[in-house]
Structure formats: structure tokens, C-alpha cells
Amino acid sequence: MAPVLNVGIVGTGIFARHMHLPCYEDLSDNFKVVAANNRTKSKALDFAKLAGIPESKVYDDLDGILNDKDVSFIDAMLPVQYNLPTVKKAIAAKKPILLEKPIAANLEQARELVKLAEATDIPVGIAENWLFFSVIAVAEKHLARIGPVVAFIHNSTAPCSTSNRYHSTNWRQHPEHIGGILSDGGVHQLGLLTSLVGEFDRVSALTRKVHDNAPSDEIVFSTVTLRDSDVIGSFNYGTDFAATKPSIYVKIFGKAGTVVVDLSDKKQPVVRVRIGDTAEDAGDEEVYPVEYDRSYGVKAEFMNFHEAVVKKDKTLYKGSPRRTFHHLAVIAALLESSSKNGNSVKVQQP
Ligand SMILES: NC(=O)c1ccc[n+]([C@@H]2O[C@H](COP(=O)([O-])OP(=O)(O)OC[C@H]3O[C@@H](n4cnc5c(N)ncnc54)[C@H](OP(=O)(O)O)[C@@H]3O)[C@@H](O)[C@H]2O)c1
């Protein structure tokens, strides 16, 4: 049986309580949440009650939980400007660490984080759960059937929601991370898209607010080229529109057919395929429903990090700092391009 890893939670906010804790509990053959630390201790104590953590394992500070010998790894869910200082301490304490996305608040911090992570054997992972969507493997199988890819459209548009509990958090309302809501959710979109088509080279983008009082731009429309490739595409994203049906899809055009990954219905992801060089020789549309994952990839992400920690091999974890740097770097390039009225901007490397 796989060893049970003891998890120390740092940052016991909404996502810790409503997603990570239930996922660890569902994976009790592999994980046990044993310790917690949070800026506001009363909230850590509430979390501890929920998780069955004894009060003696609720720490006042990061050093306390990092030095707990019973803790196998840290799962940090903090406003992302704290990712870099938290990683520095975790590496010094030789504690593997999983950090929530985006990798950091800006590219300077992200670059330093990549450097630190690559200079140690301690696993450092970025929890971009969209990298773990099972729809990716299904799509990849069919991408192999449509010949060389020529172009793609990434469209992720949805209405704003006043009941979204995440939006009202103070650190999202006053973002220190570049892009605000655009990087918060945008890195997920980019994780999915680049898993399917490859990494971006240059972007030409315009970003805008939908709401005058929004803390940062909320929507982006852009054209894109891929690295070392002739493939072109568009990346359009915004989840703060007025009433509209959520429409989330990646459409990939090959020379011999088309693959569509459609996530518009959260509970019914689907891959649609049409094979044929022309309208005349097109086969019927093939539809491949993908099983609904209530954890949106989080459980698969945890199991992947588990493997990296148990085997002491950081390279096994898919959400490496280098890979996830790219997703934030694209957001930075989109913002820079928009500030230059849509001029073409090269995406920075770590
Ligand atoms: N993968 C996903 O789909 C997904 C979804 C949601 C969130 N997330 C990520 O999860 C992380 C937490 O988000 P959340 O929605 O759970 O936010 P949240 O409820 O506001 O939780 C943030 C936590 O960080 C703590 N914190 C805030 N400022 C701090 C500071 N200056 N120093 C130390 N700790 C501080 C808060 O402590 P207090 O209790 O004192 O306020 C709180 O426990 C973020 O990185 C976010 O991007 C990921």
C-alpha cells in the first residue's frame, strides 16, 4: 500500500476548507491532514476542528509547522505574493511544498521561485489543477488523428456571479498579483490550452474592464503564435460579462480534421472530433463524453504530488515551477501588449 503522507496546511481559507480538505479526506489511504497554520489563528482552530487536528498541532507561525517532524509536506493556500517567501522557508526546512496558483505575484518573483526550486531536490509544486483534467488525455488521443495543427481558438466566456465567495476576498479585491482576476483564472485556461497546443511565443492583446469599479481588467481578446511553430490562434477569456451562457471550449484545427474540447457544461466535459480534409469527405461528428470530476483535477494533482514526494523525485510532478511560470508569463505579455495598444509582445522565459 502507498504510504500515507501527513499534510500541513498553511492558509486555512475558503479553498482549504471547501476543496483541499474534502479531497484529502476522500484520499485517506494516501493522505492525513495533521497540522495547520493561518494568519488569523481562530480560523486555523476552526479548520482544525473540522479536520480532526489536535490543538497542539495548530501553529502560530510558519516556522512552527515547517519544523514539525510529523509533517510530510506543506500545502500552502495563500494570496500568491506570499508564495516566494513561503517556498524559501520550506526549502530551508527541507519540507516538500505544494503552492496554490498562480506561481507568484509577478514575473520577478516567479523567476526567483523557479531558480530556487530547480536548485534543490525538495519537491516544489504549483497546484494548477487544470493540468490534471482527464479531458486532456482524451483530446491528445484524437489530436494525433487530425494531422498537423494549423490554428486554434480558445474561448472561455462566462457571466459574473454575485454569489461567488472567492471574488469578495480582500486580496482579490486589492490584488498585488499582476492581472488580478485575469491571472487568477487565466493561468488555469493557459494550463489547459498549452497542454493541448504547446507554449506561446508572441501575443497581441487588448484587455478591458467590464465593470468600472473592477480592481483590474477583467477580459482579454488576443491573437497568438506558438513557440517554434507556424501555428496561430486566438485566446479570449473573461468571466465577468453580463448574463450569457458559459461557453468554454478549445477548438483545434488540423489539416485532416478538428478536435473540440468543450467544458461549457461543467458537469459534462466532452471532446468532439470531425475527421476529413474537406466538407465533402468529412465523417460524422464523433462525441466522447469525459467523466465528471467533482474535484476538477485536484485529487489527481494530489496523487501526482504524492508520487513525487514518496519517490523523492521532483521531476514526476506535472505542475513544475518552470511549466507554470509560462502561464503567468503569458498573462504578463497579454497585459503588456494591451498597454501598447495591441502591439506584438514576446512571452518571457524563466
Ligand atoms: N486551484 C483553484 O482552482 C483555486 C481556487 C480558489 C483558490 N485558489 C488559490 O488558493 C489560495 C487561497 O485562496 P482562497 O480563495 O482560499 O482565499 P482566502 O479564503 O482569502 O484564503 C487566504 C488565506 O491566506 C491567509 N492570508 C491572507 N493574507 C495573509 C498574509 N498577509 N499573511 C499570511 N496569510 C495570509 C488568510 O488568512 P486570514 O484567515 O487571516 O485572512 C487565509 O487563510 C490562493 O492562492 C488562490 O489562488 C485556487
CATH numbers and ranges of domains, the chain? 5-130+296-319 (3.40.50.720), 134-291+329-346 (3.30.360.10)
Is pLDDT of 235 > 80? yes
Tell whether ligand 1 has an atom less than 6 A from the beta carbon of residue 164.
Answer: no
pLDDT tens per residue, range 281-317 = 998 999 999 999 999 999 999 999 999 999 999 999 9
Measured in Å, residue 82 CA sits from the centre of ligand 1 at 10
Mutate to test the pocket of ligand 1, among 61, 89, 171, 301 (most ligand atoms within 8 A of CB): 171
Measured in Å, residue 105 CA sits from the centre of ligand 1 at 13
Measured in Å, residue 340 CA sits from the centre of ligand 1 at 32
Q: Which three cell numbers stand for residue 236?
A: 479570449
Tell whether ligand 1 has an atom less than 6 A from the beta carbon of residue 195.
Answer: no
Q: In terms of DSSP bridges, do strands 31-37 and 5-10 run parallel, antiparallel, or are they unpaired?
A: parallel
Are the C-beta atoms of residues 211 and 218 closer than 8 Å to each other?
yes
Mean pLDDT of 20-26: 98
Question: What's residue 166's pLDDT?
Answer: 87
Tell whether ligand 1 has an atom less than 6 A from the beta carbon of residue 13.
Answer: yes
Measured in Å, residue 298 CA sits from the centre of ligand 1 at 16
Residue 165 CA, closest ligand 1 atom number: 15
Tell whether ligand 1 has an atom less than 6 A from the beta carbon of residue 47.
Answer: no
**Order of strands, sheet of 270-275, starting from the edge strand that comes earlier in the sequence:** 286-289, 270-275, 257-262, 247-254, 149-159, 232-241, 219-226, 200-208, 345-346
14 closest CA partner among 171, 157, 159, 126: 171
| Measured CA distances, 203 to 106, 166, 200, 214, 337 (Å) | 18, 29, 8, 24, 7
Confidence of residue 164 (pLDDT cuts 50, 70, 90): confident
List the single range of 32-36, 64-68, 134-138, 211-215 with lowest mean pLDDT. Answer: 211-215
Tell whether ligand 1 has an atom less than 6 A from the beta carbon of residue 101.
Answer: yes
Residue 129 CA, closest ligand 1 atom number: 1
Question: What's residue 245's pLDDT?
Answer: 95
Q: What is the mean pLDDT of the chain?
A: 97
Tell whether ligand 1 has an atom less than 6 A from the beta carbon of residue 172.
Answer: no
Is pLDDT of 16 > 90? yes
Tell whether ligand 1 has an atom less than 6 A from the beta carbon of residue 38.
Answer: yes
Question: What's residue 167's pLDDT?
Answer: 81
Tell whether ligand 1 has an atom less than 6 A from the beta carbon of residue 169.
Answer: yes
Mean pLDDT of 9-16: 98
Tell whether ligand 1 has an atom less than 6 A from the beta carbon of residue 77.
Answer: yes
Looking at ligand 1, which residue's alpha carbon is closest to its atom 10? 77
Measured in Å, residue 239 CA sits from the centre of ligand 1 at 20
pLDDT tens per residue, range 28-55 = 999 999 999 999 999 999 999 999 999 9
Measured in Å, residue 169 CA sits from the centre of ligand 1 at 8
pLDDT tens per residue, range 260-276 = 999 999 999 999 999 99
Measured in Å, residue 286 CA sits from the centre of ligand 1 at 41
Tell whether ligand 1 has an atom less than 6 A from the beta carbon of residue 20.
Answer: no
Q: Cα–Cα distance between 117 and 100 in angstroms, integer?
A: 15
pLDDT tens per residue, range 326-339 = 999 999 999 999 99
Cα angle 201, 128, 134 (rounded to 5 degrees) comes to 95
Question: What's residue 175's pLDDT?
Answer: 93
Confidence of residue 165 (pLDDT cuts 50, 70, 90): confident
Measured in Å, residue 312 CA sits from the centre of ligand 1 at 28
Please name every residue paired with 73 in a beta bridge, in sequence order, or none if there are none.
7
**Three-state DSSP class for 209?**
coil
Q: Cα–Cα distance between 7 and 22 in angstroms, integer?
A: 13
Q: Which three cell numbers stand for residue 245?
A: 451562457
Question: What's residue 163's pLDDT?
Answer: 86
Percent of the chain residues past pLDDT 90, beyond the cut: 95
Are the C-beta atoms of residues 231 and 152 closer than 8 Å to each other?
yes
Q: Cα–Cα distance between 276 and 255 in angstroms, integer?
A: 8
Question: What's residue 1's pLDDT?
Answer: 67
Residue 12 CA, closest ligand 1 atom number: 43
Question: What's residue 2's pLDDT?
Answer: 81
